[in-house]
Amino acid sequence: MKHAEPIWIRILLIGSVLVLASLILLLPIATVFLEAFAGGWEAYLQGLQDSDTISAMIMTLKVAAIAVPLNTVFGLVAAFLLTRFEFPGKNILLTIIDSPFAVSPVISGLIFLLVFGRQGWLGNTLEEWNIKIVFNTPGLVIATIFITLPFVARELIPLMQSQGKEEEEAGILLGASLRQTFLKIIIPNIKWGLLYGLILCNARAMGEFGAVSVLSGHIRGKTNTLPLQIEMLYNEYNSIGAFSAASILVFLSLLTLVLKSILERNLNSKKEEKEPEEGTPSSSSKESLAQNNTPDFQI
């Protein structure tokens, strides 16, 4: 018989969670929209129609449109290699993937500045070839790629490990090529996890501030992304313009949370479908049987 907690303890715990969530989440979101609409709809729309703000939005979308697909491809390849093969340098690759979590974005921006800047290691070579990375779009893309590097890979690695490789081995035994195995077996099994990681990667790319701030140079209308434009407007005491631009990021964050919840539900249902039914062989026994009849993938 389960022991029920006193009603006052449940009320206290639930109330504490609701108050904390309101202070941390709901209050800041409400403040953003209240400040954005403090001058009415006309002032709000005027803040969004500012040419520098529009340029910052376009730059944000451009950087995300380049960084997210590249990290998606990298995440797919890295997860496939790490979960299906044994090769020298495997731990080094894992360390590289996790490094953005351990390094401050500002520090990473400074590192790229020391590498690609005019006084950096590659500065003279880049200047001779008339290639400008720092204080230009390529610098923003490089910083964003580094910061968002782990999201897709780290979502796919545990998912592919839990699924095992028996279906892929069966496909190869039946004559499927590596390309057919990847497109017909692997991708359908990880599609929800892939979309989940892609959404998180995109949200982080559009909201990145630290590394991008170091490499952008804060050139108004040219290298400012939306977070940098918000900071610049706020420092100029243009609160309506700053919060109007911030409302766009808040809307994207809320949309990301909705999509994240939907994908989490699909992922959980997918895991439940994968669980062996009572009386059927477990996945571990199936995998051991497959290993006895087929060789492991190795490089």
* Full-model pTM: 0.79
pLDDT tens digits along 268-296: 666 666 555 444 444 444 444 344 444 44
For domain 27-270, the CATH architecture is: Orthogonal Bundle (1.10)
Average pLDDT score, the chain: 83
pLDDT given for residue 4 in this prediction? 64
Domain range annotation of the chain? 27-270
pLDDT given for residue 61 in this prediction? 92
Q: Region 211-233: what's the mean pLDDT?
A: 90
pLDDT tens digits along 32-76: 889 889 888 888 998 888 889 999 999 999 999 999 999 999 999
pLDDT given for residue 290 in this prediction? 41
What is the SS3 assignment for 222? coil
The answer for residues whose C-beta is within 8 angstroms of residue 103's C-beta and 6 or more apart is: 111
Q: Region 2-8: what's the mean pLDDT?
A: 70
pLDDT over 70 (residue 111): yes
Residue environment code for 77-115, b if the CB has 16+ CB neighbours within 10 A, otherwise e: ebbbbbbbeeeeeeeeeeeebeebeeeebeebbbbbbee
Q: Region 65-93: what's the mean pLDDT?
A: 90
The answer for residues whose C-beta is within 8 angstroms of residue 111's C-beta and 6 or more apart is: 103
pLDDT given for residue 229 in this prediction? 92
Q: Region 232-249: what's the mean pLDDT?
A: 90
Which has the closest alpha carbon to 161: 85, 88, 268? 85
